[in-house]
């Protein structure tokens, strides 16, 4: 079943995430420790999970291009490629193709880093670290992320 949100974003999205958008039209703040294995007692970060309107807001990265928030990783990846980062970036689960990162669906942000859903990895949740361009898989699904 194609939802209204899928029509707007032109992307396949997990049902639990679509339901989250319905229940939280203005988004929400979710605490999540992305380093559970290394620092299990750390409370983690408070992620701004965007609502539909914020996801659709467009902004410009000067000299690179314009993008809606939900697809802004394409701007960051373009910059990485232009500055010779190669075709891959590092992650906690090995090298990840930048084309895969570029197609990630951004759902939130915190302190310049982006939280995104990777449809090519069963809709798992990842962090894109803007200062280094590396990524980290933090949850197998959006449901696991919100129920941490």
Per domain, the residue ranges of the chain are 4-146
Which option is the CATH number for 4-146: 1.10.287, 2.60.40, 2.30.110, 3.40.1580? 3.40.1580
**Res 84: pLDDT:** 79
Query: CA-to-CA distance for 7 and 80, rounded, in angstroms?
Result: 30
Q: Which of 72, 61, 65, 75 is nearest to 115 (CA)?
A: 72
**Res 1: pLDDT:** 36
Contact 6, 13 (CB under 8 A): yes
Q: Which of 24, 20, 53 is nearest to 145 (CA)?
A: 20
Chain CA centroid to CA 133, Å: 13
pLDDT profile of the chain (148 residues), mean per 10: 61 93 96 89 93 96 96 96 88 96 97 97 97 96 95
**Token code pair at residue 82:** 């232009």
Q: Which of 121, 107, 119, 116 is nearest to 135 (CA)?
A: 116
Q: Which of 33, 9, 36 is nearest to 107 (CA)?
A: 9
Query: CA-to-CA distance for 126 and 141, rounded, in angstroms?
Result: 9
**Res 90: pLDDT:** 96
**Res 2: pLDDT:** 44
**Res 86: pLDDT:** 86
């Amino acid at each position: 079943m194609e939802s209204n949100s899928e029509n707007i974003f032109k992307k396949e999205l997990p049902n639990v995430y679509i339901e989250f958008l319905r229940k939280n039209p203005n988004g929400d703040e979710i605490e999540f420790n992305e380093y559970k294995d290394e620092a299990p007692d750390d409370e983690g970060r408070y992620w701004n999970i965007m609502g539909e309107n914020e996801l659709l807001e467009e902004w410009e990265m000067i000299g690179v291009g314009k993008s809606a928030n939900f697809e802004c990783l394409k701007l960051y990846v373009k910059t990485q490629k232009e500055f010779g980062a190669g075709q891959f970036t590092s992650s906690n689960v090995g090298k990840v193709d930048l084309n895969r990162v570029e197609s990630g669906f951004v759902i939130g942000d915190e302190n310049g880093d982006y939280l995104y859903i990777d449809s090519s990895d069963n809709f798992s949740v990842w962090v894109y670290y803007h200062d280094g361009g590396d990524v980290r898989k933090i949850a197998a699904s959006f449901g696991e992320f919100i129920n941490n």
